[in-house]
Amino acid sequence: MGVMLNSASMPRDGPGGLIRVGAVPGPVAVDYSRLASTYDRVRSSPREVQEFWLPALTRLADVPEGSLVLDVGCGTGRISVPLSERHRVVGVDASREMLDVARSKGSPARFLLGDAARLPFPGGRFSVALAVLVLHLLPDFRSAVGEMSRVAARAIVATVDIRRRETHAIDKAFPSLQGIDASRFPRIPAIEQAFRAAGCRSVERHDATRRVEASTEEFLDRVRGKYLSTLSLLPPGEFERGLAWLEEELPRRGPRYTYSHTVTFVVAST
């Protein structure tokens, strides 16, 4: 499972707490305090972090070993903990429960309760600030982008362009999934513009192909654990119907389930 990065310069068109989801109709929230105990089991495997996320982030960060790195929306430390083997890492998250899990891993990384829109650090404190699949969870992603730009010389946002995301079985199982995500995930040009508005001199876009492979049962277990936050936002009954369909359909396709999708990294320097 390698990392393939394709670069293009702008401009181009196109988590205890409750994290409010912007642009989704109604008073919707994802309660990460309830997900903390199972989050690591159903999210990216340690192998995927080592083979995809760390190589991509390390290449794009382009800082020497021992640099001070901020992980915004660090959750249970999936990225912070392995990253702390080579850098001095501070993780910030809105969920006490997620941070408790992160701290239990015995990493040298520091984990702090905080708000991405009001980071508790002086300007220019970090070499790099990261936000990996976080912006769509925030009520005001522009404030978070501004704060990342304020506290770090370089900021890296990892996100997905939902409007051109590759589809697979989970989209058929849950028909509302793409529509909900389209209202949550900021458009890539909007993220780039937010960085420019924050005063960044350089803003670039890089695409990487992320390949996900698991046993069929392992993937079904991830779905049962609602590994995508959007699965907690589906209309009543849709999750149960979709899960039942997947449990019947996927074993017919074989013992392993594989899919690929594109991750977009927006990299900005002040």
Rounded average pLDDT over 176-183: 93
Q: Tell me the mean pLDDT in the region 152-170.
A: 91
Query: pLDDT grade, residue 193 (50/70/90)?
Result: very high
d(CA 133, CA 77): 13
Distance CA 164, CA 41 (A): 28
Query: By the 8 A CB rule, do 132 and 116 touch?
Result: no
Asked if the peptide bond before residue 55 counts as cis, ω within 30 degrees of 0, the response is no
pLDDT band at 162 (very low <50, low <70, confident <90, very high): confident
Q: Which of 129, 125, 100, 90 is nearest to 35 (CA)?
A: 100
Domain that holds residue 90: 5-269
* DSSP structure class, residue 166: P
- Strands, E assignment, the chain: 5-9, 18-20, 29-31, 68-72, 88-93, 110-113, 126-132, 152-159, 202-215, 256-269
Domain total in the chain: 1
**Contact (CB, 8 A) for 90 and 68:** yes
| pLDDT tens for each residue of 80-138 | 999 999 999 999 999 999 999 999 999 999 999 999 999 999 999 999 999 999 999 99
Which amino acid type is present at position 62?
A: D
> Dihedral of CA 105/124/208/178: which sign?
positive
Q: Poorest-confidence range of 11-20, 157-166, 186-195?
A: 11-20
Per-residue pLDDT at 30 exceeds 70: no
Cα 241–Cα 222–Cα 262 angle in degrees, nearest 5:
100
CATH code, domain with 237: 3.40.50.150
When pLDDT is averaged across residues 3-14 and rounded to a whole number, the result is 34
CA 136 to chain centre: 8
Three-state DSSP string of 41-105 = HHCCCHHHHHHHHHHHHHHHHCCCCCCEEEEECCCCCCCHHHHCCCCEEEEEECCHHHHHHHHCC
pTM for this predicted structure? 0.84
